[in-house]
Structures are given as structure tokens and as C-alpha cells.
Structure 1
Amino acid sequence: MTDSNFYALLIGVNCYLPHRLSDGTYYDNLQGAVNDVNAVEAFLTVNLKVPESHIFKLTASNPNPVLKEPVEQPEQLPTYANMVLKFKEVTEIGQPGDLIYIHYSGHGGRTITAYPEIKGEAGVDESLVPTDIGQLDKSGQPVNCCLRDLELALLLKRMENKGLIVTVVFDSCHSGGATRGEAKVRGTDTLDKMPQKTDSLVASREELLDNWRSLRQVTRGESSLHLGSLPQSKDYVFLAACSPSEKAFEDGFRCGEEKRKHGALTYWLLDSLQQDYVGLTYKDIYDRIRAKIQSQFPQQNPMLLGEFDRTVFGGDRTAVTQFLSVQKINPAKQQVSINAGIATGIRKGATFAIYPIGNRDFSQTDTRLAIAEVVEYDSTVAVCKLQPIQGQREAALGDPVILLAPPPALVRQVCLFHQEQATADEMALSQLPPNKLTPEIYTQQTQALESLKPAFHVFGQGWIEWADSQSHQNISSDEEEIDYLLCINNQEEYEICDAAGVPYKNINPPVKIHESKASQKVTQRLIHLSKYKAVQELYNSASPLLDKLQVKWLGKLYDYAVEADGPPEQLKKFKPLDDPLNPTIQEGEWIFLEIINFHSHPLRVAILELQSDWAIEQSWPKPHKQGYEEFSPGVADRKVAAFCLSLPEGYQEGVDIIKVFATLGEAELRGLALPALDSPIVAPPGYRGYSGSDPLSLLAKAISQEQAQGRRLNAAYSYREWVVKQFTVRVNLSE
């Protein structure tokens, strides 16, 4: 990539000028949106060498709670007028073939439609919310508005018509809700009915309507993406933080020596781009982002549409790999120093691969000299402990260094969360009569929560550890990140919550604080969730097999007779999916997955299904038959896996995670199986037990044991030749 053909538009909104919504609520100020775009800007300038003059940035900071207005100059603020102006400027400057990157972090909004002739009188416009939303003139008339979906669609279409290569990232949502802890939701449940200006600065009303109609005709029958109502397009890549009905979170993430607020999508996007992304597609990067986000916030499911097979930052250019290098060597301590530190987002425990100097193909694992793990760091230098790879020469000065994704953690941090009183949302949702919602419920929580600690020591078995107890006013900034919050709800039940403080679904039946063996049951559930999470996080972004394994959904059928030999004839009649990456099906429907091996050697493939009731099973091939299916190279050995997903009894909906593993060796996946929650863990049929040192076998060994052996898998063995592709399927109860 040359430094002259990449342009970026970055918009981050922390501060929302007071705007009362129709239900009396407001758009809350955020804390991480400006951090998001600043971090993206740093990545573009440092890693991709994009000139500052090619980056257009609008931000509304709010550094002091006392301040009621952002500190930026008026022309730098993400107002409606400024956002439209910058979209037009970038489009005008860009030339055919140039790369355009657009990143918005802030609130998403939903308003009564300004275009009832195509959406109906009860229609809704989805939008990006500017910092000056809701301002009125002296006569009380609105002077601004949100940037609506019809306007965004035309702004993007103009870029496509000019031949620009566009990537769009929206770290926002339209779904609100209460959370415990420090995490915030980037959206609101409220449909904004307050008056807004309807005259568009993008184009005339007729042009907006004509463009929308033409786009909807082209994409008829396909699902729309949140933000939302933007039609799918083959001409751009669109990555959104979550589906329309879900929440997008911002939370505290460790950046160097401190925690900073970021949107979960932005944080894991940048974390993934810091890996060796060259040659990977947006789908490859998306798989890792989704796995990371859902292990932290299970109810946030990022969405990807458009040209997801396009290479990251790809276009008419030659990618140049950026890498670090070995700066110093301390043979006595088996340590090396590399030119990375706090300024580049490196922290303790980050893992690197060291290659021979002159090497430019960083997809090959067999040329690596050593694995290096950060043990000390300052602003610009990281000191790493070496783990030499047997049979390779010693690392030398100048050897290139590539950041790797860390192996999954085994031990999880659990924090007791003390509430001072029931929130308004909890009061509204309570099943207790109002006269029972007394403060006494919350005075019991200290004794109830503290009673769990002895059970942790007896039954914890090394999989879970205590972190310091928290209240809603005090969130830890310790080195260890919190995985689970444990609290008491207003029905006198223990609740297990994610890092944002949102209770996990399907933790049934509830455990009352006074019932027999309550502490033991809660502890065993936490261990089960920790093992589930370790499997969920398994991903190998550095694998040379990543682009060699092709996996995609083909479609669905309601009536399907399982056939023994070859792809069924019925597949010619399958129905299209609502979303090619994250489909939704009805219970009882069949869904079909195509798998092709484009590697030069046979691959052994098995599929795990992570189910809604916290069970994990090998769903293909069936474990009682064999541990894997071998795929010869080429399209001729294409195979189709059929799934009929079901819901546990009493469930109205669920989300299953499908993980497709491919290995060159004989890694045993059946050992990763887990029963439903509260069931004893037993060896699955045909499982021979631990039989290798690859990360999959090591994790299978850890899950099958009561005691976790260490905090993480050994990084030296975490990047051998295996790969996993992951999908999410939402299952609804049949009507």
C-alpha cells in the first residue's frame, strides 16, 4: 500500500448535549468512543503509515464530569452538519481504487421515520446520533437531526459509484438496558419521537427515496444489516457491533499499565489487526473478533456483511508486512528485548513469534525460532522470556518479531458484586410484590456472598479464583481482568453475570441463597462456565491453514431425509438464509454447511456445537462413529454437514455456536465435550483420552481433569497446524 491511496473518516462521540427523549430519558455520555477513534488513528498512522492529512476526524470529548459541553472547536465536533460535510470531502478527494475506512463509535438511535411513503406511518429510521442532537432555535424549532439510514445509504453509494474501496465499522447499537459494573450500552431502548429537522444536507428527498428503492430492489429477499436498514452490498465491507436487537458494550480494557474505556468491537478489532493480518480476509478477522466478544459479552453478536471475502485493507495494492525486531539478547536469563511497549499497546503476557531475519512469510509455523512472552515493559521496550523451539537456531539481533494471539486462559476471575439497592429496572422486572422489595434483601448479600468463599476453596479445583469484592461505585483495575460478577438479585437468588454485569441466560434452575448446598452448586456452575469459555475462546489466527479451509452455510430445509451417501439431491432446493454468517432458523429446520480443503495435504475435520444449555458436543461426525472426517485436497472431496438444532425443554430461543476444527494431526476433540449445566462430566463415547501435546489435546486434558494445570496452555505449542472457523446460529421455537 502506498501512503497516497488510503483515507479514513473517524467519528467518536462521548459527549451528547442534553437531549430529552420522549420518555424523559437522555442519551448518556460515553467514555470510550473518543478513545476508540484515537486508537484507530494511531494504528493507521503507525502501522499503515497513513499520512495525518488523509485522516478526517470528528470527536466530542467530555474529560471532566463538570463540563457540559465538549472541549473541541466547533468545526471538529461530530454534529450532523460536520458528519455530512466530512463524508462529502472524503468522497471528493478519493480517486478510483483508493481505500476508504469509516469508523463510528457512539450511540445508535431509532426515530420515527421521516420517509413514511416508503417505510409506512409507523416506520422507523435507524441512525447515527450526533453530539448536537435535539438543539432548538429561539422559536423552539429543531435545528438539527440524526444522520439517518437513507442518508448513509446514499453517502456510501456515491463512494461506490466513484470506484472507491470502502470499509465501514459502526461500534454502536440501538438496544439499551441496565447493567451492573462499569460497562455501558451504546444505545437506547427508546424510540425517539421528539421533533427533528427533516431537510437533508445529503441530497434532495427525491434522490434519497430513489436510491433507497433501487438498493432494496437489488437486495430483495436478503436480510438488512443493523444500522440496519442499510441494504447489503457487494461493494463495501460493513462490520457492526451487534445485531439490531442486541446490545453493544463499552468497557474497561487494559492498555499498557492502565485500563481505558473502549467499545468491545473496536478493542478486539484493533487487537486482531495487531496480529499478522496480511493475506487474511475480513471474514477471518471477524471470526476472531466474534469469538473474543462473545466470550466476554455473550449477548453481543457482531455482524459482517458485504465483501467479507476481501482481504483486510485489500485493493489494487501490494501488502507490506509491518513487524517488530529483536533489539537485545540476554542469554543468561533467556530473554530478548523488542521495540514495543505501552505506546504500541503491549502488556504483560503478550506473546510473540520470532522468525529468521530476511523471512517475509509469517504464515509458516515451521520456520519459527522461538516464542517470546512479555515479562517486563516500559513505554517503548518489552522484555520477553524465550521459549526456544527444538531444532531451530537461537534468536539473533534483528530477527523479525510478530505478535500472536494468546492461548485461552484456564483460570477465571470471579468478583463478588455488592448492590446497595434494587435498580429501577429490577424493581420493574421483579416477581415479588412491591411490599417485599425491602432493603433487607440487600443487607443479606454480604453474608450470602461471603459464604461462597469456603466452597471455592473446597470445590473450586483451580478453575476459578476470587478477585476483590466490588460495588457499583468501585471497579477493579487490577492486572487480572474480571470474568464473572456474582451477585444477589431481588428474589434472593444467586446470579452469575458477565463482565458487564448482565446475568447469563439459561442458568437454570435459580439457586436460592438459603437452600441446601447453594454454595457448592454455584461454585460448580462457575467451573462449568469456565471450561465452556475456554473452548469458546479457542481460535488460531496465526495458522497457515486459515485460508486453506473453506466453510460456508448453503441454506436450510424443513423436511429433510438423512441420506448416507453424498450430498442429498434436496440441497438443490434449499431455502436461503436470512444472514450468511449468523443465520436464524426455527427449531426442527435443517441447516447445511459446506466444507472444502484447499490445502496440499489431507485435513481431519470435526465440528463442535456449543449449545444454549451450556453443553458442548461433537455434532459432526457423530462421536460414536469416529473422531473426525478426513478431507482430501480439492473441490472433488467437498462435503456437506447437516444439522437439525433443537432447544432444551422450556426454552423459547437459544444461540448455538458452531466451531469447525481442521487439523493435520490427530487431535482428539471429543475430550472437549461438556454435558448440560449441573450434570456430571463424563468421558464421551469412543474417547481414548489425552494423546498429544497440541493445544486441542491439552485443553481436552484440562477439561477432563478436576484440577486446572496452570493458568494457560503452553504458548510454545499453541500455534501448530490446526485451525478453527466459527459460526453462530440463533434457534427460535417453532410457531
Structure 2
Amino acid sequence: MAIESRSATVHWAVIIGIDYYPEPKDKCLSGCVRDATTVKLFLETGEPNVNIAVLTATTPTDPSFGRPQEKPEVWPTYENVISGLLSVIDMAKGGDFVYIHYSGHGTRLLSQLALVLLSEDGRGSRYLRGQTLALALHKMVEKGLRVTLVLDCCFSGSVVRNSDWHGFDIRCIDYNSTVNDVSLQEHSASLFDVASTLRDSSMEKDWLLTPEGYGILSACAPHEKAYELETRDGGRGALTYFLLDALSTLRNRGTKLTHQSIHEHLSTRFHVSWPRQTPMRYGNENFAFFGESLLPPDNAFVPIYKTGDDQLCLRAGHIHGVFEGDEYAVYPFDTPEHAQNQEEKALLNVRVNTARAFESELIVIGPTSALQFQMGWKAKPLTSLSPRCIPVKLLTSISGISQSQLEEIAKGQRFMRLFTEYQMEEPCIFNVIINEHDEYEVVDALHGKVPCVPNIS
């Protein structure tokens, strides 16, 4: 795509979709190329114009062919993906926007994510290690680019096909040491011309989780599996499908929401429609999708959903300061986060009938006219009656935190107080530990895992 003026802000996209995997042959997917083409179509039909590079691998109709159907120059090989990232780094200027989308298999390599790409001849696989991807993103951020990364793949290192999930493809593949031997020969720092200190894995992990220059949406938690779902058009990645549905709704109404709001919507959509996986968000929560930073909302919306027995539920509970009798105004998904006079535009008002630890049941209190519930509805509090302050204890596995640091961390959380294990003797309902996977995990007073609360890496 020709660029008329380099003085204007430019949007760049690198889209990768891999259905065909030569080995093992039973791990070919069915929806990744469709994901890539659908994302490309979405970007092409909107504003502004986007410079798009698409790399895909379609499974050949003749298994003996042994290579993707596409021409080699658009195969998602390690070399082509690295070349695409380097081209963006070289051609983009500070202030430009970059969107990277990956749909395909993921694996875990030395406790890190690795994307499973194709070898140069298309007849084997090669890993793009998480460290290499992090270095590419770091180089983009260092140049002043604003990056959105979507990973519709699994972070798990094994494939488990439970009998309940027959008919669904899982986007993870077993780690292969032979493939890794080739992948370890790459020199990540020299590829992207960054300091050797960036090779340190602990630095990489911290940088990935707390960046200001980009935002990440991933299909599932680090130890979950990412599935493909069947739609009228064929197989699709669950994250890509729900994400594009949400973005299309926002585009039609001319609304921009932050990554944080989009993630909360996706999390609720998965919770209701596809509870097999939990989408995750990392990085700058105030980025708009493939766009500039937005101001954080003064009073964030809370997603609501309807259960199979028509019960309206609020995705917040006691731990968030919700109390029986609290009232909320309900708005459609595409309501801007800083809309004026939102009280006049509310669809209806609801009241908390039953508050539980993390979710609450709602009853409608007005208006009385019947409305057909739409996925994506969200609520803002009108009243708050909670007199409670929930104690949360940090156990000994989280060390080196003083009381003054706890007070700073908990600032603004008026319904929660943080304690160390030695500051109070009575048991807390909620306790935070670091588990064997080096993740923060919420457990109950008996140190049992609290249901429906994802771990945080």
C-alpha cells in the first residue's frame, strides 16, 4: 500500500494465521487463516488506511503435498515473520501505530511462551521465542511506536483432549526439543539491535507485564488452553471472534473504548459463552484498540450478564465493595467511557438483591418497559451502601512488603485493607500467595483456591 505522506501518522499491521503444521500432522488447525483474513478485512474496511502484511499457511487438500497452499513469500516462517517485524521497525516513525495479530499454535519453552511458526522450507516448525518477540516490541516502543498485540494461541506446553471437548481444536502443541535446538541458534538481541542486558529473562518478564508503550490481549491464562469454536462460517479462534464482534459494534457507533474496557467485556463474554478459557490483558490499560491513549474513566463501568435462567448478574461482589441494596444504572456496551449526562441515556436501573464474594444478583427497578437483554451491557453505581472493609492478607510467600507500602498499594481501595501474615491473628476470607508457578493466587482461609478468580503472573 502506497503512503502518500510520511508527515502523517501511519498505521501498520502484521497478521499471522497458521492452519497447516507439518508435524505432528494431527495438529493442523481450521480457523487461524480465517482469523487472519477476517482481521485483514476488518482493518481494510475502516479508517484510517493501514499498511498490512499478512502471512498465512493453509492446509493443502492433498496431504502428500507437504507444504502450505500459499506461495512461499507469504508463508508464516520464522524468517518471514522476523522480516515483517524488522520492516515495521525500520519504516515506521515515532507516533505511528502498530497492530500484531497471531493465530496459531503456542507452546511453552523454558517456562516462556513460544509461537510455533514454520521452517523456511514449509515442511517443519520453528519457534519464535517470547524473548525474541519481547525484544521486537521493546525496539518498537523505544522508537515511539504505539503497539497492540493480540495472541490467539495457547501458552500451555501440553495438549490434553478431555472427552467433554471433542470437536474443538486446541491451539497448543507439545514442546519439541528438536525444534528448540534450531530456535536456540537465533541471536535475538542482534536481530533487533538492542543491548545485551535485555536478554535477562527476569527483566523480560517484568517488562512484558508492565509496559507503557503497548497493550497485549491474550486468548487465555498462562496455563490454560485456547480453543477454536465453530461458527456459521467455519472454525474461528474464540478470542479473535469475540474481539472482532466487539470492535465492529464500537466502529458502527463511532465509539472508542480502552483496552481495559474491551478486556472486561471479553472476559464477561467468555465467562457466559465460552468458560473454557480466560482472556488476559497486559500493558497499558488506557490504550484504545490500535489507537491513541484515552483518559481513564473516573468511575468505571462494571459488566453485567444474564444466566441461563434469566438472572441478571453483576460481575462484582463483596470484594469490590458491593452490598445488598446498591443501585446501578445500566448502559449498552458502546456507551463512551466519558459520555456526558449518562443518567439520561441509561437503559434501566437495577438493584443488588444478593451480593456474593465476586458476583452479585440484580433485580430491575425501572423503567418498567421490557427490554431485550444484549450481551455487553454494563453498569455504573448510583448508590453504595456497603459499610464493610474486606481484610486481605498477604502470606509469607510474599515477603519484603512494609505496612507503609501496603497502605500505598491499597490507596483508593476503600472497601479493602491489606495485611501481612503477622499483623492480624484472625483468619481472612481472602489471602494472597505466590504459587508453584510463580503466580499471585487468591486462596480462602483454609488455603483452598477461590473459584472463578484467575491467577496473575
Regarding TM over 0.5, the answer is: yes
Counterpart residue type for residue 15 of structure 1: Y
Query: What is the aligned counterpart of 1:81 among 72, 79, 82?
Result: 79
Determine the structure 2 residue equivalent to 1:173.
Answer: 154
SS state at 2:47 partner: coil
Determine the structure 2 residue equivalent to 1:185.
Answer: 170
Report 1:231-250 matches (<5 A).
232-250=210-228
Determine the structure 2 residue equivalent to 1:19.
Answer: 23
SS state at 1:311 partner: coil
Deviation, 1:203, is: 4.5
Deviation, 1:128, is: 1.0
Structure 2 distance, partners of 1:304, 1:648, is: 22
Contact 2:56 2:74 in 1 (8 A): yes
Determine the structure 1 residue equivalent to 2:292.
Answer: 315
Contact 2:392 2:416 in 1 (8 A): no
Determine the structure 1 residue equivalent to 2:132.
Answer: 151
Structure 2 distance, partners of 1:306, 1:64, is: 40
Structure 2 distance, partners of 1:187, 1:83, is: 19
SS state at 1:128 partner: strand
Query: What is the aligned counterpart of 1:640 among 403, 406, 416?
Result: 416
Counterpart residue type for residue 235 of structure 1: G
SS state at 2:98 partner: strand
Report 1:22-37 matches (<5 A).
28-37=27-36
Counterpart residue type for residue 30 of structure 2: Q
Structure 2 distance, partners of 1:197, 1:38, is: 28
Determine the structure 1 residue equivalent to 2:114.
Answer: 127
Structure 2 distance, partners of 1:133, 1:152, is: 18
Query: Aligned pair 1:267/2:248, yes or no?
Result: no
Determine the structure 1 residue equivalent to 2:377.
Answer: 540
Contact 2:100 2:150 in 1 (8 A): yes
Determine the structure 2 residue equivalent to 1:50.
Answer: 49
Report 1:649-660 matches (<5 A).
654-657=449-452
Deviation, 1:174, is: 3.1
Report 1:585-664 matches (<5 A).
594-595=412-413, 638-640=414-416, 644-645=429-430, 654-657=449-452
Report 1:702-713 matches (<5 A).
none
- CA spacing shift, 1:639–1:63, aligned 2, 3 Å: same
Deviation, 1:214, is: 6.2
Deviation, 1:311, is: 3.0
Deviations 1:495-522 (A, max 9, x none): xxxxxxxxxxxxxxxxxxxxxxxxxxxx
- CA spacing shift, 1:97–1:555, aligned 2, 3 Å: farther
Deviation, 1:199, is: 3.5
Deviations 1:679-726 (A, max 9, x none): xxxxxxxxxxxxxxxxxxxxxxxxxxxxxxxxxxxxxxxxxxxxxxxx
SS state at 2:216 partner: strand
SS state at 1:38 partner: helix
Deviation, 1:188, is: 2.3
Deviation, 1:275, is: 2.8
Counterpart residue type for residue 102 of structure 1: I
- CA spacing shift, 1:656–1:37, aligned 2, 3 Å: same
Structure 2 distance, partners of 1:72, 1:218, is: 34
Contact 2:154 2:224 in 1 (8 A): yes
Structure 1 distance, partners of 2:263, 2:455, is: 18
Counterpart residue type for residue 574 of structure 1: L
Query: What is the aligned counterpart of 1:200 among 186, 199, 207?
Result: 186
SS state at 1:185 partner: coil
Contact 1:133 1:146 in 2 (8 A): no
Determine the structure 2 residue equivalent to 1:479.
Answer: none
Query: What is the aligned counterpart of 1:8 among 9, 13, 34?
Result: 13
Report 1:489-508 matches (<5 A).
none
Larger Rg: 1
- CA spacing shift, 1:75–1:544, aligned 2, 3 Å: farther
Structure 2 distance, partners of 1:235, 1:191, is: 33
Deviations 1:14-57 (A, max 9, x none): 111x235xxxxx57111111111211112212233424xx0111
Deviation, 1:407, is: 2.8
Structure 2 distance, partners of 1:202, 1:33, is: 26
Determine the structure 1 residue equivalent to 2:106.
Answer: 108
- CA spacing shift, 1:249–1:211, aligned 2, 3 Å: farther
Contact 1:91 1:158 in 2 (8 A): yes
Unmatched tracts of structure 1, length 5 or more:
21-25, 112-122, 137-141, 225-229, 319-351, 370-388, 392-403, 409-538, 547-552, 560-569, 578-591, 596-637, 658-727
Counterpart residue type for residue 23 of structure 2: H
Query: Aligned pair 1:574/2:406, yes or no?
Result: yes
SS state at 2:118 partner: coil
Give TM-score, length-normalised by structure 2: 0.64
Query: What is the aligned counterpart of 1:92 among 74, 90, 103?
Result: 90
Contact 2:9 2:95 in 1 (8 A): no
- CA spacing shift, 1:572–1:204, aligned 2, 3 Å: same
Deviation, 1:86, is: 0.3
Percent of pairs identical after alignment? 28
Deviations 1:567-604 (A, max 9, x none): xxx86343999xxxxxxxxxxxxxx7955xxxxxxxxx
Report 1:391-402 matches (<5 A).
none
Counterpart residue type for residue 6 of structure 1: H
Deviation, 1:189, is: 4.1
Counterpart residue type for residue 7 of structure 1: W
SS state at 1:130 partner: strand
SS state at 1:145 partner: strand
Structure 2 distance, partners of 1:127, 1:545, is: 42
Contact 1:557 1:575 in 2 (8 A): no
Contact 1:593 1:641 in 2 (8 A): no
Report 1:673-692 matches (<5 A).
none
Report 1:305-344 matches (<5 A).
305-315=282-292
Query: Aligned pair 1:288/2:64, yes or no?
Result: no
Counterpart residue type for residue 91 of structure 1: I
Deviation, 1:309, is: 2.4
Structure 2 distance, partners of 1:101, 1:648, is: 37
Unmatched tracts of structure 2, length 5 or more:
1-6, 296-331, 348-366, 383-389, 397-401, 419-427, 432-441
Determine the structure 2 residue equivalent to 1:517.
Answer: none
Contact 2:286 2:294 in 1 (8 A): no
Structure 1 distance, partners of 2:448, 2:239, is: 25
Query: Aligned pair 1:407/2:374, yes or no?
Result: yes
SS state at 1:267 partner: helix
Deviation, 1:201, is: 6.8
Deviation, 1:406, is: 5.3
Determine the structure 1 residue equivalent to 2:141.
Answer: 160
Structure 2 distance, partners of 1:280, 1:100, is: 17
Counterpart residue type for residue 19 of structure 1: E
- CA spacing shift, 1:84–1:575, aligned 2, 3 Å: farther
Query: Aligned pair 1:62/2:62, yes or no?
Result: no
- CA spacing shift, 1:354–1:246, aligned 2, 3 Å: closer
Structure 2 distance, partners of 1:129, 1:272, is: 27
Alignment RMSD (CA, Å): 4.6
- CA spacing shift, 1:240–1:199, aligned 2, 3 Å: same
Structure 2 distance, partners of 1:96, 1:80, is: 26
- CA spacing shift, 1:297–1:191, aligned 2, 3 Å: farther
Structure 2 distance, partners of 1:206, 1:97, is: 19
Deviation, 1:365, is: 7.0
Deviation, 1:181, is: 3.0
